[in-house]
Amino acid sequence: MNAPNPLPRRQFASDNYAGVIPEVWEALEHARFGHAPAYGDDPWTARASDLLRQFFETDCEVYFVFNGTAANSLALASLCNSYHSVICHALAHVETDECGAPEFFSNGTKVLLADGANGKIDPDSVESIVNRRKDIHYPKPRVLSVTQATEMGTVYQPDELAALCDVAKRHDLRVHLDGARLSNALASLGKAPADVTWRLGIDVLCFGGTKIGMPVGEAVIFFDHDLANEFEYRCKQSGQLASKMRFLSAPWIGLLETNAWLKHAKNANACAAALGKAVESIEGLSLLAPVEANACFVHLPENVAAGLRERGWKFYNFIGSGGARFMCSWDTSMDDVNALIDDLRELTK
Amino acid sequence: MNAPNPLPRRQFASDNYAGVIPEVWEALEHARFGHAPAYGDDPWTARASDLLRQFFETDCEVYFVFNGTAANSLALASLCNSYHSVICHALAHVETDECGAPEFFSNGTKVLLADGANGKIDPDSVESIVNRRKDIHYPKPRVLSVTQATEMGTVYQPDELAALCDVAKRHDLRVHLDGARLSNALASLGKAPADVTWRLGIDVLCFGGTKIGMPVGEAVIFFDHDLANEFEYRCKQSGQLASKMRFLSAPWIGLLETNAWLKHAKNANACAAALGKAVESIEGLSLLAPVEANACFVHLPENVAAGLRERGWKFYNFIGSGGARFMCSWDTSMDDVNALIDDLRELTK
Amino acid sequence: MNAPNPLPRRQFASDNYAGVIPEVWEALEHARFGHAPAYGDDPWTARASDLLRQFFETDCEVYFVFNGTAANSLALASLCNSYHSVICHALAHVETDECGAPEFFSNGTKVLLADGANGKIDPDSVESIVNRRKDIHYPKPRVLSVTQATEMGTVYQPDELAALCDVAKRHDLRVHLDGARLSNALASLGKAPADVTWRLGIDVLCFGGTKIGMPVGEAVIFFDHDLANEFEYRCKQSGQLASKMRFLSAPWIGLLETNAWLKHAKNANACAAALGKAVESIEGLSLLAPVEANACFVHLPENVAAGLRERGWKFYNFIGSGGARFMCSWDTSMDDVNALIDDLRELTK
Amino acid sequence: MNAPNPLPRRQFASDNYAGVIPEVWEALEHARFGHAPAYGDDPWTARASDLLRQFFETDCEVYFVFNGTAANSLALASLCNSYHSVICHALAHVETDECGAPEFFSNGTKVLLADGANGKIDPDSVESIVNRRKDIHYPKPRVLSVTQATEMGTVYQPDELAALCDVAKRHDLRVHLDGARLSNALASLGKAPADVTWRLGIDVLCFGGTKIGMPVGEAVIFFDHDLANEFEYRCKQSGQLASKMRFLSAPWIGLLETNAWLKHAKNANACAAALGKAVESIEGLSLLAPVEANACFVHLPENVAAGLRERGWKFYNFIGSGGARFMCSWDTSMDDVNALIDDLRELTK
């Protein structure tokens, strides 16, 4: 086969444009040979699950599913009924980018939108949503869904997460963490994973594999065993139980065994940080949010944006704001970043 | 990493215990590097779609999803509403092995069970189901779902499929083909794919990738463009739109470009045929169905079954019949088969 | 207004062809005047709920919904998840006459069919269904749904119900009672309602109002308070919370306060019994099931059936059997029955 | 039976606190006797359907369902798929008071909120919602749902409805009219029903029966026959097909045959108008929206509100605004209104 050419770099559109990190590929290569029982009863899945339990220092329940939309929707569905509601930030992926998947998997659950600066939920906003309606004519809030790192590239500090878990518990809400970019958040925080998840009160975590460099796959992790009751049936019925499960689980071995996740997350974060620092130093540009993970949101004059696109740079307009999102991947290089910075400087002159 | 050991052979439990065929792996390796737009807007997906259109000699609509349960359920959901019903064989995967996924994706669609020898639907049975109820108090039949190769390892001949399509069209039923093992069926039939699918009246095909040797992934193929309307939204909402789509599409390039599917399907079929032939020659054993694809269903005395398991052979009891299913994979070797035959001969002495 | 003429009698098609019993009408007339808070916070609803608690001699949770399909489906949905299954008799209304409503309300729950003579579930059949599959690829049995009186017009004796509850509890199944014709069953049994429902292990009861002579409305009664958790939300979301609730609840006051249900159920049962007795005495006719409530199932030669229809008699062919169902209503008169018997005698001569 | 006492008047909480208008009751009394075929195959249903066709001067498809939540949700479900979205005003009943029913019946359809003064949708807001997102990661707008009279008691003028239908058609949206209080709107407009519904482009209408004085029941009216395809199955499956349908349809005969709807709607509107006029004349009070139907929204100082409640007046706080809603019913009397006005004057002195 003549391989179709991959996209040339100059790419900051999304971390899901990137390929597979070498350690993950190596793990997949180990898995490709021979026969193994299907549906997760194989040694790779056992090993990957154990590594995740070690990673989080607790005997959690681990499930491997295909993508982040499914991971989030299945987790939410396991936490609520159709007449409940899920509270999340107005910019959260479950609201803005899953085409109603949470509503579909839960058969009608409503998503209620909280406010908060820089993509972080303000606990008062949660409080106010919960108190706004208490009658049966409106879906009853049952879950608080938090995204870490946020859609704005910011990272909740432990005390911020603790405050959210606190307001949740006070109102009998369960707490779901959308960790599509948890690796980047962990690299940014430099804390033990347990200390910024279940020890703060997170009930269920969707740990992202794709964006940190797996070809496909996410892990759904229940820190509360009871909540995981019959979750395997839920996965199966919704088309999220892989028959050749080892190809969803083996990559986690590659990610975790040698701390590859950390190395690559740090690289992506460092690229974003460098870009952010440069942006702050360029007259006419400004940051839309602090750069705390692998994304950099920039207020970009229209002509600069057009100029960048003309020169082949890929990035997203930020939803509804005239800004731009530059997302760094595990394999973004400082050369890419410097070339971008050079073009930014030129275009703003 | 020290790779966990894969299952030793002596394995005829399922073709989804097998790993990845070399040609598919090679295609994946081409895809792992570099950046590419997400959600299918990449050159691998374009190429794989084109190859499938060439394969079926028609300008069909092609979608890549994660697994067979999702492929079937999404296809069925696109063909019917919640108050409709789907007619399939009582042994069909959509009935027996998808944990109510078709009902879930379609929000309540009922699955009605047709009869027929050797896992093949008898057209009269379809007729009788359609005519049994015509009132609004029972779900209205809207889809006929046919499996090729069947769950009994048999293969519909073109005239048999034509007869089913005919009864379907007469009653305004759309026709779905569950082709989880279509490669094996095509290898068995030796016909052009077009001649045993859309030219006979198949509306939508779920073409299996996993069982023929991909790590993950199936293709949903609409021969009728109108039926594919907004199918991408349906995939997205149900968690079946891969962000790094190239890892679902590239394997098809590997399968189709060099006819790898055919080589490997032929091997699996030949293994099953050899086993079937031997079974017929062994006193005390008999076939439960003709061996026409990669499965061999055997009436096995209990002590023989126990003896095989003792010697480490893996195979499934056949649902509700006291028989046994021996499933051959793309990488089953004639040595495996012969060793099994030897043990069968010994145990039946 | 010139009232359109109602159907002339000679009607044994269904008890839902009948009008409203006088005691119910009187209760509705009391309710039609004045203002009352909506959604059940009114004195009629409180009174009807109390009467039902007295009726069942227990502090049960009571909800009033619009029809039997909704009552059953909501009750089942509160007992199971989408990946569960409900076991019922192959002739049960939830299977044969609700157009997939249980599947719809529960978002995909599968209905599994048990056998048993005369429309009664054989406990061994339940056992066998539960044991047939224990893997996650098939919906997990979670509810046993029993119909009293059955669709064949028979009535479970207390020990029969106890045996079913017993097998259910052994397998962690909850027990739902479809009591669309519970009044007729109770009139037949002559037992205290508590003794043939919750004291035997019934968890949730759908108590039929329409067929015993209300214009519209059924009661869903949870004997286990925990199972009723948030059921009011479920009703609201599925369009089953009446705003002017008093018009669903007041009829129950009319039914229960003066034992009107019993008087009218006895009349319907007596009519069916008289018809059954006559059928047994007529050569060429035979009963398809014992007559124990208000229905009489008769094996009817085709020419007799045709003759009856010619003379204007209304009745249903019995699903798939060549038999006929004669259903008696609260206002069927012995004159109707005798006229039918006369015609049966003449036509079989 | 000793009737529980109905609520004493001094009631402006809701028009669904009211009882049954005499003409409707009379029609029900005609229907209560005798037998009639079930599920709508009866003369009352035929007559009521014909009257509605005459009312709208077109051969529309008519269905009778139990309540407004179901009517709206079923209508919307027939117009869209799970991955679509419905645009409505932020104050619309389908958003604020149906507990996620539209999402439930449609298996996940998202409700998107448009702006506009006085409860009326601004066409520009629709335009902006449609244009905001065009990608498959967000539910695709498919229906515009308009409420007439609005939740703020205002009434769309024909040109306003026409402008909304126009923006809808331009963007391939179907138009649903929530007419829970359509009678009041029609009485206010003084136009032919056809001229303010289908002739402007309304596709499906939910015509409210309960709030204008039926005990239970709404009509779903499809002006476009194709959209009604198989709607009877949808009703059946969702528990909205009444067996004794005549009790849902006969009231419409009472409403329409003698123009009772108009008489009673005019009375309610006149009461609201009188109240509104008085409010404008009282210092310290002001209207929150023009009074155009049977509701009057008043900015009420807290002490006045408290004073009213102390004197036994019932009314709702208006969602999130510190205002009050006074809703007039078909049987609200001018004496009620004058007594309320007197108390308002006293309390504001």
Query: How does pLDDT run across C167-204, given as a tens digit for each residue?
Result: 999 999 999 999 999 999 999 999 999 999 999 999 99
Question: What 3-state class would DSSP assign to B263?
Answer: helix
What confidence score (pLDDT) does residue B9 get?
76
Fill in the amino acid letter for A251.
Answer: P
Residue in chain C closest to B93 (alpha carbons) equals C137
Decide if D66 touches C, using CB distance below 8 A: yes
Query: How does pLDDT run across C296-339, given as a tens digit for each residue?
Result: 999 999 999 999 999 999 999 876 556 999 999 999 999 999 99
Q: Each residue of A193-226: b (16+ CB within 10 Å) or e?
A: bbebbbbbbbbbbbbbbbbbbbbbbbbbbbbeee
Query: How does pLDDT run across D240-281, given as a tens digit for each residue?
Result: 999 999 999 999 999 999 999 999 999 999 999 999 999 999
Phi, psi at residue A289, to the nearest 5°? -160, 155
Query: Are the CB atoms for C270 and C293 separated by under 8 Å?
Result: no
Is the pLDDT confidence value at D4 over 60?
no
Query: How does pLDDT run across B64-109, given as a tens digit for each residue?
Result: 999 999 999 999 999 999 999 999 999 999 999 999 999 999 999 9
CA B108 to chain C, closest CA, distance in angstroms equals 4
What confidence score (pLDDT) does residue C9 get?
76
HEC assignment per residue over B335-347: HHHHHHHHHHHHH
Query: How does pLDDT run across A309-326, given as a tens digit for each residue?
Result: 999 999 998 765 569 999
Decide if C230 touches D, using CB distance below 8 A: no
- Candidate from B83, B84, B237 with C-beta closest to D83: B237
CA A287 to chain D, closest CA, distance in angstroms equals 23
Question: What 3-state class would DSSP assign to A146?
Answer: strand
Decide if B35 touches A, using CB distance below 8 A: yes
Cα–Cα dist D95/D110, whole Å: 10
What confidence score (pLDDT) does residue C1 get?
43
Residue in chain C closest to B99 (alpha carbons) equals C138
- The reply to whether omega before D149 is within 30° of 0 (cis) is yes
Looking at residue C5, the DSSP 8-state letter turns out to be: P
Q: Residue D334 is encoded by which pair of tokens? A: 């001018």
Q: Minimal CA–CA distance to D164: which of D173, D152, D153, D154? A: D173
Q: Residue B10 is encoded by which pair of tokens? A: 């002596």
Q: Where are the beta strands (DSSP E) in C214-255?
A: 218-222
**Per-residue pLDDT averaged across B276-291, rounded?**
96
Cα–Cα dist A17/A294, whole Å: 14
CA A208 to chain B, closest CA, distance in angstroms equals 12
CA D46 to chain B, closest CA, distance in angstroms equals 18
Q: Minimal CA–CA distance to C45: which of C256, C220, C252, C230? A: C252
Which of C72, C94, C99 has the highest number of chain B CBs within 10 A, making it the mutation to test binding with B? C99
> Model confidence at D5, in pLDDT bands (50, 70, 90)?
low
Residue in chain B closest to C131 (alpha carbons) equals B320
Cα–Cα dist C1/A335, whole Å: 86
Q: What residues 85-114 of chain D have any CB closer than 8 A to a CB of chain C?
A: 98-101, 104-105, 107
Query: How does pLDDT run across D121-137, given as a tens digit for each residue?
Result: 999 999 999 999 999 99
Is the pLDDT confidence value at B1 over 50?
no
Phi, psi at residue A86, to the nearest 5°? -115, 130
Which residues from chain A sit within 8 angstroms of residue B46, using beta carbons?
A: 4
Cα–Cα dist C189/D302, whole Å: 60
**Per-residue pLDDT averaged across A123-142, rounded?**
96
Cβ count within 10 A of residue D277:
13
Cα–Cα dist D24/D215, whole Å: 9
Decide if B229 touches D, using CB distance below 8 A: no
With an 8 Å Cβ cutoff, are A137 and D320 in contact? no
Q: Minimal CA–CA distance to C63: which of C215, C242, C202, C216? A: C242
Decide if D68 touches A, using CB distance below 8 A: no
Cβ count within 10 A of residue A137:
18
With an 8 Å Cβ cutoff, are C110 and B100 in contact? yes
- Candidate from D39, D136, D237 with C-beta closest to B83: D237
Residue in chain A closest to C106 (alpha carbons) equals A107
Q: Residue C113 is encoded by which pair of tokens? A: 């069919």
Which residues from chain B sit within 8 angstroms of residue A66, using beta carbons?
A: 66-67, 216, 239-240, 242
- Candidate from A43, A74, A242 with C-beta closest to B67: A242
Residue in chain B closest to A11 (alpha carbons) equals B35
- Helix pair D22-31, D246-257: axis angle to 10 deg: 140
Is the pLDDT confidence value at C3 over 80?
no
Q: Output A297 or A320, whichever has higher pLDDT.
A: A297
Residue A118 Cα distances to A90, A91, A143, A265, angstroms: 11, 10, 21, 21
Q: Which chains touch A (3 or more CB pairs under 8 A)?
A: B, C, D
Is the pLDDT confidence value at C42 over 90?
yes
Question: What 3-state class would DSSP assign to C327?
Answer: strand
* C-alpha triplet A24, A26, A32: angle, nearest 5°: 105
pLDDT, averaged across chain B: 95
Q: Minimal CA–CA distance to D158: which of D115, D126, D122, D201? A: D201
Cα D129 to chain centroid distance, Å, stands at 24
What confidence score (pLDDT) does residue B57 get?
98
What confidence score (pLDDT) does residue A8 get?
61
Q: Minimal CA–CA distance to D64: which of D175, D207, D197, D257? A: D207
Q: Minimal CA–CA distance to C317: which of C343, C299, C340? A: C299
Decide if D139 touches A, using CB distance below 8 A: yes
What confidence score (pLDDT) does residue C6 get?
57
Cα–Cα dist C337/C340, whole Å: 5
Decide if A131 touches D, using CB distance below 8 A: no
Q: Which chains touch B (3 or more CB pairs under 8 A)?
A: A, C, D
Looking at residue A226, the DSSP 8-state letter turns out to be: G
> Model confidence at A1, in pLDDT bands (50, 70, 90)?
very low
Q: Minimal CA–CA distance to C38: which of A160, D158, A37, D327? A: D327
Cβ count within 10 A of residue D335:
10
Residue in chain C closest to A135 (alpha carbons) equals C233
Percentage, residues of chain B above pLDDT 90: 95
> Model confidence at D1, in pLDDT bands (50, 70, 90)?
very low
With an 8 Å Cβ cutoff, are A137 and D85 in contact? no
- Set out the domains of chain C in order of their start, with CATH numbers: 22-257 (3.40.640.10), 260-347 (3.90.1150.10)
Q: How many CA atoms lie within 13 A of B300 on its CB side?
A: 27
> Model confidence at D8, in pLDDT bands (50, 70, 90)?
low
Residue D288 Cα distances to D117, D125, D152, D302, angstroms: 10, 21, 8, 15
Fill in the amino acid letter for C55.
Answer: F
> Model confidence at B8, in pLDDT bands (50, 70, 90)?
low
Distance between first and last Cα of chain C: 46
Question: What 3-state class would DSSP assign to B201?
Answer: coil
Q: Residue C240 is encoded by which pair of tokens? A: 């089953």
What confidence score (pLDDT) does residue D9 get?
76
> Model confidence at A9, in pLDDT bands (50, 70, 90)?
confident
- Candidate from C83, C236, C237 with C-beta closest to A237: C83
**Per-residue pLDDT averaged across D298-325, rounded?**
89
With an 8 Å Cβ cutoff, are D104 and A99 in contact? no
Query: Are the CB atoms for B223 and B205 separated by under 8 Å?
Result: yes
Question: What 3-state class would DSSP assign to B317?
Answer: strand
Q: Is D162 exposed, middle or buried (0-12, 13-18, 19+ CB in 10 A)?
A: middle
**Per-residue pLDDT averaged across C74-87, rounded?**
98
> Model confidence at B319, in pLDDT bands (50, 70, 90)?
low
Cα–Cα dist C231/C239, whole Å: 13
Residues 6+ apart with CB under 8 A from A179: A147, A148, A185, A205, A206, A207, A208
Q: How many residues does chain C have?
A: 349
Q: For tokens 């999702």, what's the residue?
A: B70
Cα–Cα dist A9/A183, whole Å: 23
Is the pLDDT confidence value at B2 over 80?
no
Residue A257 Cα distances to A55, A254, C150, C219, angstroms: 10, 6, 61, 58
Fill in the amino acid letter for D318.
Answer: F
Cα–Cα dist A278/A261, whole Å: 26
Is the pLDDT confidence value at A4 over 70?
no
Residues 6+ apart with CB under 8 A from D69: C236, C239, C241, D97, D98, D99, D101
Cα–Cα dist D197/D205, whole Å: 8
Query: Are the CB atoms for B241 and A67 separated by under 8 Å?
Result: yes
CA B130 to chain C, closest CA, distance in angstroms equals 13
Q: Which helix (H) or strand (E) holds C279?
A: helix C260-281
Residue C70 Cα distances to A265, B221, B276, C235, D108, angstroms: 52, 37, 52, 9, 20
Decide if B230 touches D, using CB distance below 8 A: yes
Q: Which helix (H) or strand (E) holds C302?
A: helix C302-310
HEC assignment per residue over chain D: CCCCCCECCCECCCHHHCCCCHHHHHHHHHHCCCECCCCCCCHHHHHHHHHHHHHCCCCCEEEEECCHHHHHHHHHHHHCCCCEEEEEECCCHHHHCCCCHHHHHCCCCEEEEECCHHHCCCHHHHHHHHHHCCCCCCCEEEEEEEECCCCCCCCCCHHHHHHHHHHHHHCCCEEEEEECCHHHHHHHHCCCHHHHCHHHCCCEEEEECCCCCCCCCEEEEECCHHHHCCHHHHHHHCCCCCCCCHHHHHHHHHHHHCCHHHHHHHHHHHHHHHHHHHHHHCCCCEECCCCCCCEEEEECCHHHHHHHHHCCCECEECCCCCEEEEECCCCCCHHHHHHHHHHHHHHHC
